[in-house]
Amino acid sequence: MLRIACPYCGERDHVEFAYGGDATRRFPDLGDPDIDRWAEAVFIRDNPKGEHREFWQHQHGCRQWLYVVRDTVTHEVKSVVPAREVPALSAPDRAEAA
């Protein structure tokens, strides 16, 4: 069973949490009208093997968003910190996206 050590509530079963997505994912600027860039950002996913960074929300506890480093093979949770303590990922430069 996957257990996540919430920094606010302590260790809990994963059923108390909701997966919030890939924490390394970069989204287009909110004003970007390119539907293909948005479709790729929202729907196309990698399926990494090994260490992965993810967002989880403790829905049935403190409701805080967490930044979790987890091994996708063993499900070992290597670290958990409040998401607000992780620097935000910026949108790709327009030149890079073109």
pTM above 0.85, yes or no: no
Instruction: CATH number for 1-23+49-88: choose from 1.10.10.10, 3.40.50.80, 3.30.2270.10, 3.20.20.140.
Output: 3.30.2270.10
How many CB atoms neighbour CB 25 within 10 A?
Answer: 15
In the chain, what are the helix, strand and coil shares in percent, each to the nearest 5?
20, 35, 45
State how far the Cα of 49 lies from the Cα of 75, in Å rounded to an integer. 11
How do residues 13-54 score in pLDDT, each as one tens digit? 999 999 998 888 888 888 999 999 889 888 888 788 999 999
Listed by start position, the domains of the chain span 1-23+49-88
